[in-house]
Structure 1
Amino acid sequence: MRRRFLSLAVACWLLQLACAVTLGAGRQFVLAPLIGDMAARAVGTLTLCLAIILLARRFVGRHRPSAAARLGVGILWCALTLAFEFLAGHYLFGAAWEVLWADWNMAQGHLWPLVPAATLLGPLPAPPAPRAAAGRP
C-alpha cells in the first residue's frame, strides 16, 4: 500500500476508535442503567459494527482501492482493533486478561467478536460504481 493511502486507512481506523469510545461511554452511562449491562452491550456492539461498516463503505467509495488493498485495509484495521483491545485494555485500563477474554464468549451473549469481524470484512465489498453526471448518457 502506498504511504498516503496507508495513512488515510489509519486515520479512518482512528475515527472508528473515536466512535467506539463514544458509544462505549453512552452505553455505560446512559443505556446500561436503563436496559441492563448485557442488553446495552449488545446494542452498543451492533451500533459500532454499523458505524464501522458505514465508515468502511465511505473510505472504499472515496479512495477506490483494489481488492488486494481492501483486504490489506481490513487486516490492518482488525490488527489495530485487537491490539488496542488487548494491550490498552490490559496495560492502560488495567482489565484482567480473563475479563478481556470473557468478552469473546458468544455463548454467554457477548457479541464483541462481531467488532473485529466488521473491521476485517467492512472494506472488502467493491466500491459502488461512480454516478454519471447529470445530463450525460
Structure 2
Amino acid sequence: MAPNLYLYSLAVWVLLVFLAIINGISRGLYVPYTGELLAHQMSSVIFSTVIFVVTYAFLKYSGVSGTSVQFIYVGLMWVSLTVSFEFLFGHFVVGHSWDRLLHDYNLLEGRIWLLVLIVTAISPWLANRLLS
C-alpha cells in the first residue's frame, strides 16, 4: 500500500502548508505583545505540535500503512518539500533575500525553525510507532 501512503502523505503536506500560513498570520497577532523573537519561538513550538497532531490523526484515521522505513521516507519527503517551498517560493515569488530566508536557521540568535523541520522529519515515523 506504499503508493497510497506517499500520495496521501503529499496531501497531508499540502494541508500542513495551509496550516503554516494560518500559524504565520496568527503570529502577527501576538508579536506586539511578545516581541518578534518570542513570537517566532512560540509559533515554532505551536506549529511543531500541529504537525505531530495532524500526522498522528492522519495515520490513525486514514487506514494507510507502511514500514518504518517508508515512514522515514515520508518525513524526509516532507522536509525536502518544506525547505524547497520555503526557499523557492520565499525568494522567487515573495522576493525575500537569501539572508532573510536563512535567518530563521540561526540557533545562536534564538531562532528555532530547525525544531519544526526536525518534528516534520520524525512525526510520520513516531506517530506510526505510537499507533503500532
TM-score (norm 2): 0.90
Superposed structure 1 runs of 4+ greater than 6 Å apart: none
RMSD: 1.4
Question: Paired residue for 2:8?
Answer: 8
Alignment partners' CA distance in 2, 1:72 and 1:61: 18
1:117 aligns with 2:89: no
Instruction: Deviation per CA, 1:72-112: give whole Å up to 9, x if none.
Output: 11011010111011111111111100111111001101011
1:86-101 matches, cutoff 5 A: 86-101=87-102
Are 1:78 and 1:119, in contact at CA under 8 Å, matched by a contact in 2? yes
Instruction: Check if 1:34 corresponds to 2:37.
Output: no
What is the deviation of 1:127? 4.1
Superposition map of 1:43-62 within 5 A: 43-62=42-61
> Per-residue deviation at 1:4?
2.7
Secondary structure at 1:31 match in 2:
helix
The number of equivalent residue pairs is: 128
2-structure distance, mates of 1:91, 1:77:
20
RCO higher in 1 or 2 (8 Å CA, sep ≥ 6)? 2
Unaligned 5+ segments in structure 2 are: none
Bigger CA radius of gyration: 1
Segments of 5+ residues of structure 1 without an aligned counterpart are 130-137
Distance 1:128 1:117 in 2: 20
Contact 2:2 2:66 (C-alpha < 8 Å) held by counterparts: no
Partner residue, 2:21: 21
